[in-house]
Chain A
């Protein structure tokens, strides 16, 4: 089934003010750069954004923060972003911080038809406040619920016209679970090939989870923390 759309503008059609969006990536690794640029252009506001991080000041989701397009961020870690800090401390931006494994599993549950699950993470901490808890095998667990996103936006390395996706290295991170979770899932890829050109054994995300796919352009792939060793 052909899922191809022409570009980011086509892919982002229907995204409106007040919607909930899942955005893949870990830090700046594996983020849908083309779609984020399109969201900036669209100027959609009051977005609830589910993403592990919030980008940096001038890249990634930080670009949406600059334009005050995000109403609420649901993340596990949001450091390294001054504008985020300013908006959070001034109360302009709502922030819900949740454990990273819980975030990943909530995304997976969303796409897998599981309304809620128990996890040990966060028991006895403020994360568990107001949530049901229950003992299993002598250990306490917290009930965590699936999300309800309107769109999921993911980035893959290669994709085919059927929407099958292959991710590269640690740029996979949250992308496969978020792809499963969107009512409409947008996948942008570095390389788009005809169906049949990817080895079915190597595909990470099945095209059934993807509604729109396009080849992004001009990937900057910015590195957040460049760490190297010297040859001697």
Chain B
């Protein structure tokens, strides 16, 4: 049954409106970073890059704003570390669930997926509470001051790691499942050691998936707010710094400039991960 032409056009219009709805707030957040005005609002006062590069008040640009820059630095620092850790753990989990058999495997598999469906706020408070319980215990019974278990970057790392590992595990396990075990067997038959096979055959095969898992983990960490907010100390990452500014100072175009940087950064990274994936589907 063919769809009549006018219905098809209505359908297309609907999809078009939907995509306009998707991009509208992003365009709004981005565009006003370039408006030569003290407020992110119409009318358009002309194009400027002051909100990025201007060194003095009242239009203090993003790249001269120490607190925002420190937030950016913290975000990158946290993102890289947590992405590396979660890719390592995710690779172990992938081997565990794809290659090994053990009792209660399906229950443990569900446990592995669960962190994705626990609300981020709850992950944050539960890790905060648990870390404080340990720290209080150590303080009271052993006289140890475990400051890294108090809100701060180490706790943010643990909090983000707790759910990013699920994502990296799923991505890497999907790739490992496609691996043809007979290649490994051939290498073993030719006398290669287990470690050698792992380093020269299996891990190179997994490398594209590990790379895109790293990019995704970094991105999600960079954007994360809910879990991070509960665990953050004095060294806030960029999203928390931006939120703070928004609530305390109100919206100024420098926040639009931050938005542009965030969108550009994640856009480029997403593109890299898509390209990496493209290469792996058409070798």
Q: Answer whether A and B are interacting partners.
A: no
